[in-house]
Each structure stands twice: as C-alpha cells, then as structure tokens.
Amino acid sequence: MSDEQGFSPRERRASFTLAGIFGMRMLGLFMIMPVFALYGDELIGFSPLWVGIVIGVYGLTQAALQIPAGWLSDRIGRKPVIYGGLALFALGSVVAAMSESVYGVAIGRVLQGSGAIAGAILALAADITHEENRTKAMAIIGVCIGISFAIAMVLGPVLASFFGLSGVFWATAVLSIVGMVMVYFMLPNSIHKGQIRDVTAAPELFSRLLKDKQLLRLDFGIMLLHLTLTAVFVAFPLTLLDAGLAAERHWWLYLPMLLLSFILIVPFLILGAKRNMNKQLFLASILVMMVSLILMATGQGHIAVLAVAMLLYFTAFNFMEASLPAFLSMLAPAGAKGTAMGIYSTSQFLGAFLGGVLGGLLYQELGGAGVFLLVAACMAFWFWLAAGMTNVSKVRSHILPIGVNIEDTARRESLLTQLLALPGVQEALIIPEEGAAYLKVDGNVFELDQAKRLINL
C-alpha cells in the first residue's frame, strides 16, 4: 500500500490498467456512433429509426444493470464481474459483426450494454488504493473515458472505411479480449473490502437521494446531455455526407474539432475552480450547445458552418461531461456518493437510449434539421432547469478509517460530535460495519491531519 504522499508503483499500475480497461470498453461502445448511419444501409431492415435504436440501445441494458452489477461485485468479488462483463461485451460484438440485419446488430448492442462493469471497476480501484490516492485513481479513469471518446470519433470512421461496419465490431471484440488479458496479468490481487459507500450504491439511500432537488438536476442534466449526443450522431454523419464530405473523410473534421475543443475547455475549467464560477460557466455551456445545434440545423450543405457547429458542440459537451461528476461529488451527502453516482450513471445511459430512439424517429419524420432543432429545444429546457442549481464551492469528500472502537454507541456519538465540530466539516457519518468515517468538508478551511488525529485517539 502507498504512503500518504503519493501513488505506490502498485497503485499506479492498477489505476492505469483499470483506466485502460474502462477506456477500451467505452471505445468499443462509442466507435459505432459516427459510422452506423453511413455504413449500415446494406443491412436488412435499415431505417433512420433503427439507426437510432442500434446507436442507443446499449444504454437500456447499461441503465438496468449498472447498479445490480456493482452490488454483485460486493458479493462475489470485483474480478469475476469484470471478466463476465467483458465476455458479454465480446459476445455482443461478435453477434453484431456477424449479423446481416439491423435487428441482429441491435441484439449485439444489447449484449454489449449488459456487460455493465463500471461499478465493479470503480470499486476495485477503491479496494486497491489508499483513500488519499483514490481521487487520483478516479480522475485517471475519468480522463481515459474522455480520451476514448475522442479516439472513437476518429478510429470508427477509419476502421469502417477499410473493413466495413463488421470490422468495427470485430475490433471491439478484440478490445474486450485484450481487456480480459489485462485483468489477468496486470491487475494485482486485492483484499475485497465489500461495499464502499464512496463508489457503490446503498439501497437504503435511494429514497432520500431521489428527493434531493439539486442531485435530480444533475441526473436530468446528464440524461439530457447523452440524449443529445446519441440523437446528434443519428443525424450529423448523414448531414456531412449530404454536404459533400465523403464518409471515409469524416474523421478529417472530427479530429481537429475535438483537439481544439480540449484546448478551449482548459481555461474555463481553471476559471470555474479558481473564481467559483462553476454555475455561470455551466449555464453558458448549455447555451453554447444550443447555438451549435441551431447552426447544425441552419448550416445544411455548408461544411465550414458544420465544422464550427461541431467545434462548439464538442467544447460544450466536454466541459459539461467534466463538470457534472465534480458537481455531483460536491453535492452528494456524506457517505452517499456511490449511491448518487449510481443514480447518475443510470440516468446517463437511459439518456443515451432515449436519444437514439428520439433521434431516429425525428430523422425519419423531419430530417436532420428537425433532429437538431428539437434537441436544441431540449437544451433550452435544460437551461431553465439548471438555473436553479446551487453554485458549488470547494466541497470535498473524505473517507477515513477509524482507529478506535466504535461498536459502543456512546463512543461513536461522541466521536461524531467532535468531527462535526472541526473547522470546515459540513457533514459527518460513521459506518461501524466499514470501520470508517465519511466527511463532507469545505476544502478551504478543513485540515485533514486534525481529523486523523481525532479519530485515532
């Protein structure tokens, strides 16, 4: 195990391995998005509606199984769930690759989505890292997901141009097998800690969190963000094709726009953190996304306009994708972060499914412009909804192992009272079964060493 100052080699290797496994799986899910509308027209039953269903249907099984898979990993261990999830993903990829109809491909995508391993991966990261390094491990995983999306927008079109649609699915099957090899050879064996409330959901907290208006704003926000993403990629590849950009060259537009968007969001992330302008910048990003969608609708036939629209879209999307989990971490009650994240992730995948179906229906009835304009209306609704969001500050969460006997109720209550009296502590929760204290603190004034001395008296 690491010391308290930084990663040990074991923690670093495990964190990057888990990030790579998670990233490869997301890469496999995302690669189909920019290409299916272009290369799926030879499949039996092809239609705009089925384009949307195929792109988004993985989200339905992800939404249904995300939390149960995390619970299962608490019971039987993390690695078995990860192996099983990757095997299901590989099976779904093979089914989709060998299918000659959109219905078979949709079944393959359902199987891909059923390999819901996010909860198990995050829980394993928590098992094998010291609490003070856990945030770093989660950040590495989060960055890898963002990178996988960017790679998918480029690699998907390139693979499809050389090997066709089936080649993309065969590539995702290979990625799954590589992931299983990485689990076997590169992940250290760890002592399974059971439920850790920072990363896994606690059933008894659902009712409370589903009544929290601030958290619900974030849940609806991530749902609308991914609804928009899948709906856009039902229509945008066909819009580029109609504008005269050949399918095999679509990555020429995606790559520079994505790279520029990553550069553009950096100063805004820094500004939001240093000036406490998170809410203002977040609302501005929703407006930027709405403008980008209107440009997509009105710029039909003009590649330059569509390129600018995609730059604005990617910039706003990446900023919100990075900001929403941070907001959730700050707003979730002490000891409820894992449950809040489970509800949030379920909302995200449900949004992906709804966006695919909605985008397919709208394109079938109203064309690409109709998709973009109605999704822009969803952004207007989101802006209204997010306007009531709390302007989050430098709130941080900590999990501290307790070095004293807390089985005695009076001793536990006394310790809880003392923790709450510490400067900067906003919430405190002691879970005797875990031998841990969950703290939600103001990072500007809270002193971690002071809390450690108190709980280890």
Lowest-confidence region among 98-102, 105-109, 236-240, 262-266: 262-266
Same domain? For 68 and 176 the reply is yes
Domain boundary at 174, 193, 212, which?
193
Domain-located, residue 418: yes
Cα separation, 97 vs 181, whole angstroms: 22
Instruction: Say yes or no to pLDDT of 239 above 80.
Output: yes
Confidence of residue 31 (pLDDT cuts 50, 70, 90): very high
pLDDT at site 12: 86
Q: What percentage of residues in the chain have a pLDDT greater than 90?
A: 55
SS3 188: coil
Supply 364's token pair. Answer: 């079938």
Instruction: Say yes or no to pLDDT of 319 above 50.
Output: yes
Domain boundary at 136, 158, 193, which?
193
Instruction: Say yes or no to pLDDT of 2 above 60.
Output: no
Neighbours of 6 (CB within 10 A): 12
Identify which has the larger pLDDT, 149 or 197: 149
Contacts of 72 (CB under 8 A, 6+ apart): 81, 120
pLDDT at site 4: 45
CATH code at position 406? 3.30.70.100
pLDDT at site 194: 55
Q: Is the pTM higher than 0.85?
A: yes
Cα separation, 210 vs 332, whole angstroms: 11
Half-sphere exposure at residue 205, Cβ-oriented, CA atoms within 13 angstroms = 21
Cα separation, 442 vs 426, whole angstroms: 7
Cα separation, 28 vs 302, whole angstroms: 30
Confidence of residue 1 (pLDDT cuts 50, 70, 90): very low
Lowest-confidence region among 78-92, 97-111, 143-157, 300-314: 143-157
CATH code at position 56? 1.20.1250.20
Same domain? For 343 and 410 the reply is no
Domain-located, residue 198: no
Tell me: the pLDDT tens digits for 62-119? 999 989 998 888 888 889 999 999 999 999 999 999 999 999 999 999 999 998 898 8
Domain-located, residue 135: yes
Task: Indicate the residue type of 326.
Answer: A
Same domain? For 269 and 178 the reply is no
Domain boundary at 156, 171, 193, which?
193
Half-sphere exposure at residue 63, Cβ-oriented, CA atoms within 13 angstroms = 19
Tell me: the pLDDT tens digits for 401-436? 776 566 667 777 888 888 888 888 888 888 777 778
**Mean pLDDT value across the chain:** 88
Lowest-confidence region among 36-45, 303-312, 339-348, 419-428: 419-428
The owner of tokens 């192992």 is 401
Residue 262 burial (10 A CB sphere; 0-12, 13-18, 19+): middle
Same domain? For 153 and 259 the reply is no
Which of 305, 385, 360, 292 has its CA nearest to residue 102? 360
Instruction: Say yes or no to pLDDT of 398 above 90.
Output: no
